[in-house]
Chain A
Amino acid sequence: MVARGTDEAGQLVELGKEPESFDSWYAREHPRLIATLLLSTGDVELAADGVDEAFTRALEKWDQVSMMESPTGWAFRVALNHARRTARRRTIERRLFIKRAKDIPVPAPAGEVWQVVSSLPPRQREVVVLRHIGDLREAEIAEVLGISRSTVSSTLSDAHERLGSLLDDEPPNGERHHV
């Protein structure tokens, strides 16, 4: 089961790569995507819904997604885009129907990290969270967010000025955990 060419989203698929099973990839990456989306959006519902959507789509075309260079990067992109669309829809609904905004606090285990990353502007927060919690490389972050790699680098640099040593990588433990 080797996919060839590109998928519907134009992602390159890798020829000759032995695909991982969906179940093992899903079990391993779900907690990371949830944590990353939660810390990007600050909203556990948005995060869970976005991540569910991403894994649902991945399951539907796993033969293609599994052959991508970074299936997890692809899942991040789908999840983030879905969460943004949902957030926009909610905003419109609130304006139209004068609905009360939901106030669901960030769950306790995320509280300390959320305090740190929520001090960053949204774009810096997304880049920092994708790099340090999502464990993506700069090139992958660029693809996920649809920005250039140099923008990712400069954004990380700006965030470093704000957060200082919290963002210093330590090489011995800095290995990537995903395919």
Chain B
Amino acid sequence: MSELGRMAQPLLDHPVVPTPPVADLRRRGQRRRQRHLLGGSTAVLVLAAVVMIATLAPSSPKPVGSSGTSSSLTAYIQKGVSVSDSTLEAIGLPSNVLAPNSVADGASLTQDGKPVVVFVGGEFCPYCAMERWALVVALSRFGTFSHLGQTISSSSTDVFPGLQSWSFKDSAFTSSSLAFTPAEVYSSTPNSTGTGYEPLQSLTPLQSQAFNAYSDRGYPFVDIGGKYVALGASANPGVLQNLTLDQIASQLDNPSSPVAQAVNGSANYLIAAMCSVTSTSAAPICTSPVIAQAQSAMTANPYTAGAHSQLPS
């Protein structure tokens, strides 16, 4: 083995991309065959439609399932990113969902020239399990996730023990209008002293800047462009208890489901904040009346140190 090979050994021992299950490869093959079946004139029509859509709305998110990168998303995440705008509008702003706080004098937070959404959480944290779903539904209006779906379980000894979730660690998000920088600060593995959990990721300077601006911060923490902040979960994670990820995902497009109301209701506020820091053309739903209502509610809910709302039961 050469010195170069030895230097690369950690990449083989700890791959940067996990090996997807064989079932994912089968699904990918099925999707490709289905695309090939369209063939001929249909393909030409689809291509023309795609070009038109891309030309008219260059910042719209890519349709899920049509790009190669989406293959790295698990089926339940695919359902999360595919929640329809009509479902979001039907759910609106449930009374048991908290609105994020507006930060009137907050300095704009940007990354690569785009407004940035900062998430700080921990894999052990049951409240983060709820907020991750809302973030995936919301951010998918503005861009495309990849490499998302590494399954985790929140702490077995915390409130709402053992909630099924996934980690944002190693995920990527691509958008022309918005950046997303998540950090999973702790794993769900208790540390050797039994006083907490094994550390996982350190905060970047930008994440630290956002996180440390609030004295009453905790996990989950979501900052949207420096103008809105969600301190803690926006909805009660108890609705996720005893549900598998597939069971959660399969309820997301059903407006009468408590899971959908909690996740999508929270997502509606997050979307409204994201629309505010980007533009109304950043995502089609930005022009929806529900989003305007959410923006008004957040404006009427300014951040005051130590006075943020308690999570409704």
Q: What residues make up the interface of A, taking CB atoms closer than 8 Å to B?
A: 22-23, 26-27, 30-32, 34-35, 38-39, 44-45, 47-49, 51-53, 55-57, 59-60, 82, 86, 93, 96-100, 102-104, 107, 109-110, 112-113, 116-117, 128, 132-133, 135, 163, 165-170, 173-174
Contacts and interface: CB of A to CB of B under 8 A. Distances in A.
B33 to A, nearest CB: 9
Given A52-B25, A98-B58, A116-B7, A110 B16 contact: yes
A168 B2 contact: yes
Interface in B15-51: 15-17, 19-20, 22, 24-26, 28-29, 32, 51
Contact of A56 (B2, B19, B29, B58): B29
Interface of B: 1-5, 7-8, 10-17, 19-20, 22, 24-26, 28-29, 32, 51, 54-55, 58, 68-69, 71-72, 112, 146-147, 170, 172, 174, 176
A19 to B, nearest CB: 16
Which has the most chain A C-beta neighbours within 10 Å: B8, B72, B174, B176?
B8
Given A133-B4, A167-B2, A167-B4, A31 B12 contact: yes
B35 to A, nearest CB: 13
A59 B25 contact: yes
Given A23-B22, A47-B17, A97-B58, A110 B11 contact: yes
A109 B17 contact: no
Given A23-B22, A44-B17, A107-B16, A52 B8 contact: no
A34 B14 CA distance: 11
Given A56-B25, A110-B16, A99 B58 contact: yes
Given A53-B68, A167-B4, A173-B1, 17 more contacts: A22-B22, A34-B17, A35-B8, A35-B15, A45-B69, A49-B71, A52-B20, A53-B28, A59-B29, A100-B176, A109-B11, A112-B7, A113-B8, A116-B4, A166-B4, A168-B2, A169-B2
B4 A170 contact: no
Counting from the closest, the 8 A-B pairs by CB-CB distance are A49-B68, A35-B11, A31-B15, A107-B16, A173-B1, A30-B19, A56-B25, A132-B4
A49 B32 CA distance: 13
Q: Main secondary structure on chain A at its contact with chain B? A: helix
A34 B8 CA distance: 12
Nearest to B32: A56
Given A113-B4, A133-B5, A174-B1, A55 B25 contact: yes
Nearest to A60: B29
Nearest to B1: A173
16 contacts: A23-B22, A31-B15, A35-B12, A35-B15, A35-B16, A44-B147, A45-B147, A52-B28, A57-B29, A93-B54, A103-B112, A109-B16, A166-B2, A168-B2, A168-B3, A170-B1
Contacts of B71: 49, 52
B22 A59 contact: yes
Contact of B22 (A26, A97, A116): A26
A168 B12 CA distance: 20
Which has the most chain B C-beta neighbours within 10 Å: A47, A51, A133?
A133
A116 B29 CA distance: 35
Contacts of A99: 58, 176
Contacts of A48: 17, 69, 72, 146-147
B2 A34 contact: no
Nearest to B19: A30
A58 to B, nearest CB: 9
B14 A109 contact: yes
Contacts of B4: 113, 116-117, 128, 132-133, 163, 166-167
B58 A38 contact: no
Contacts of A128: 4
Contacts of B72: 48-49, 52
Contacts of B20: 52
B29 to A, nearest CB: 5
A170 B19 contact: no
Contacts of A60: 29
B3 A39 contact: no
